[in-house]
Amino acid sequence: MAIQRLLQAGKLRRVARGLYDVPRKHPLLGELSASSDAIAAAIARRDGIRLQTTEAAAANLLNLSEQVPGRIVYDADRRRRSVKVGQRTIEFRERSRRKMAAGQTSGLVMAGLRAVGRQHVTPERLAHLRKLLKPADRRRLLQDLRYAPAWMHAHLRFIAGEKKPA
């Protein structure tokens, strides 16, 4: 009943079944909706799902590509499903446990390199990633090396600062 009262008073807003947020207002834009990342993270916490950014989105986030994905898709360690949130549809695609095993940043880098493709990984892109990652993330990249495909090992070692570009 407490949630129902907060909803009626306008202090809470139902985003999806079982998910609520506090409405925020912008002086020019009006009421702002929750970000897709925040909604996906809340669904993951609620359902006990591990999420990872898809390859195309990872390449965009890491500035390896200027292409912006048109659909909101996340890789998940559970079965495929989609959640309708207002006008948006957030998709969760099942991904193999091996590809989901790497840490958050390591998984993002590996997905970004997969999106770019083996033949398009350049020393400039690797240097960009090396500069972008914090030292702790680069150390973690070496720990998660076993989850990467063989062609990526030399590139990940360079990003981590272990050797020269391949």
pLDDT of the residue at 18: 81
Burial class (CB in 10 A: 0-12, 13-18, 19+), 145: middle
Number of folded domains that form the chain: 1
**Residue 25, phi then psi, degrees to nearest 5:** -120, 140
| pLDDT band, residue 32 (cuts 50/70/90) | confident
Tell me the whole-structure pTM to 2 decimals. Answer: 0.78
Q: Is residue 1 situated within a structural domain?
A: no
pLDDT of the residue at 125: 93
Q: Is residue 4 situated within a structural domain?
A: no
Instruction: Give the residue, 162 or 61, on which the prediction is more confident.
Output: 61
Q: Is residue 60 situated within a structural domain?
A: yes
pLDDT of the residue at 113: 94
Q: Is residue 8 situated within a structural domain?
A: no
Structural domain that includes position 68: 35-160
Q: Is residue 21 situated within a structural domain?
A: no
123: left (phi over 0), alpha (psi -120 to 50) or beta: alpha
Q: Is residue 83 situated within a structural domain?
A: yes
Q: Is residue 47 situated within a structural domain?
A: yes
Report d(CA 118, CA 93) in Å as an integer.
23
Q: Buried (b) or exposed (e) across 65-93, using 16+ Cβ within 10 A?
A: beeebeebbbbbbeeeeebebeeeebbbe
pLDDT in tens, 95-142: 887 777 777 888 899 999 999 999 999 999 999 999 999 999 999 999
Q: Is residue 95 situated within a structural domain?
A: yes
Please state the three-class secondary structure of 122-146 as a single string: CHHHHHHHHHHCCHHHHHHHHHHHH
pLDDT in tens, 36-50: 888 899 988 888 888
